[in-house]
Amino acid sequence: MVEFAFLGAAGEVTGSMHVLDTGDDKILLDCGMFQGRRKDAHDKNRRFPLAPEKISSMVLSHAHIDHSGRIPMLTRQGFTGRIITTRPTRDALDYMLLDSGHIQESDAQYLNYKSLRAFLYKAEQSRKKQTLSNRDKSKIKNLLKKTPYELDVASIEALQKEHGLDVVVPLYTMEDARQSLTYIDGYPFGTEVTIGKGTTVKFYVAGHILGSAFSLIKVKRPERTYRILYTGDVGRFDKPILRDPTLNFDEDDRDIDLLITESTYGDREHAPVADLGASMRQVLTRTVERGGTLIIPSFAFGRTQELIYILHELYEAGSVPRVPIYVD
C-alpha cells in the first residue's frame, strides 16, 4: 500500500514537508522551514516530525527556504540518502542554505546578547535601587561588543553560563549547511531518476522560480503503476524571465492517481503580469516627481530579479526617470 502524510504547510503556508511511504521506502517531499513569529517558528522548527535515519531519499521542489530550509537539520541528524532536485535548484542551494545558516547563527547570537543585557540591567537596578541612565545602559550594551557592529559572542556565552542563563543554540550552522550540500544531486528536467525500490521521479517546469519543478513520481507495483504529482509552488504564466508552468506532460505521465498541490493564492485572481510594468511606471514616476524614495520589499530569490528586469525595461524605453537602484 502507498501512503502519504502531511508534516508541514498544512493549514499554513510555510514549513513544507510531506512523506510518501511506498512500503519499501519513506520518501520525503521538501524539507522546509516554518517562518513567522520568532518563538512559534523556532519551536516548530526544533521538532523534527520523523526519524531522519528512516528516510530513504528526498525530492526537493525548489530552493525557497520554506521548502528547503531544514535540509541541514535533516542531514545532521542521521539522514544518509540522497536529495534529488533540478540542476538550477542545486546551484541555488549553494547560496540559499549557507545564507540561512548564517541567519540562524546571527539570530542565536542576538537573542543571547539580549538575554544577557536584560540580566545585567536588572542586576544594576537591584544594586542601585534606581533606573539606569541612558549612558549607563549604553556602557553595559557596548561592554558586550567587539565593535559597534560586532557582538563579542564568546564573552556573551561565557557570561551566560557563569550566571546560569540559558544559551540559545542555532537550529544549524553555516558548517551544517555546507555539509548538507554534499547530499544533494541535481538532474535535468525530463530525466527519470530512481529514488527508491521501483520508484522514480521526473521533473517538469513549475514556473515559480528558477529551477522550480513539478515532481512526477511513479511507484511500480506488480498489480499496477501509481502516479503521484507533487507540484510544490506553482508559477504564473507570461512572466518575463521564466518559462510557463508545464501544461503538456508526457503521455505516460498524464493519468495521475494523486495530485498534491499548493493553494496559497487559490482564493483570489491575480492581475495580469503584463500590467505590472504599467503599475511600476506610474508609482515610480509619481514618487520621483514628489522628491521621494521608493522602497520595495521583495523576496530575495525570484521576485527581486523580476522587479530588476521590469525596471531595466522601463529604463531602456525611457518610460521612467533614471534613478539609482540599490538591492540590499
**DSSP code per residue over 89-151:** HHHHHHHHHHHHHHHHHHHHHHHHHHHHHHHHHHHHHHHHSSPPPHHHHHHHHHHTEEETTEE
Distance CA 138, CA 148 (A): 11
Class of residue 265 by CB neighbours under 10 A (exposed 0-12, middle 13-18, buried 19+): exposed
CB 188 within 8 A of CB 70: no
CATH 3.60.15.10 at 3-87+174-260, yes or no: yes
- What single DSSP character describes residue 211? T
Say what the pTM is.
0.89
Indicate if the alpha-carbon torsion angle 311, 314, 319, 321 is positive or negative.
Answer: positive
Poorest-pLDDT segment among 57-61, 122-126, 170-174:
122-126
Distance CA 268, CA 69 (A): 27
- Higher-confidence residue of 243 and 274: namely 243
Looking up cell 516548530 gives 44
Q: Is 321 helix (H, G, I), strand (E, B) or coil?
A: coil
Domain ranges of the chain: 3-87+174-260, 98-162, 275-316
pLDDT digit string, tens, across residues 134-164: 666 676 667 677 777 788 888 888 888 888 8
Q: What confidence score (pLDDT) does residue 205 get? A: 98
Could you tell me the pLDDT band of residue 130, with boundaries at 50, 70 and 90? Answer: low
Residues 6+ apart with CB under 8 A from 268: none
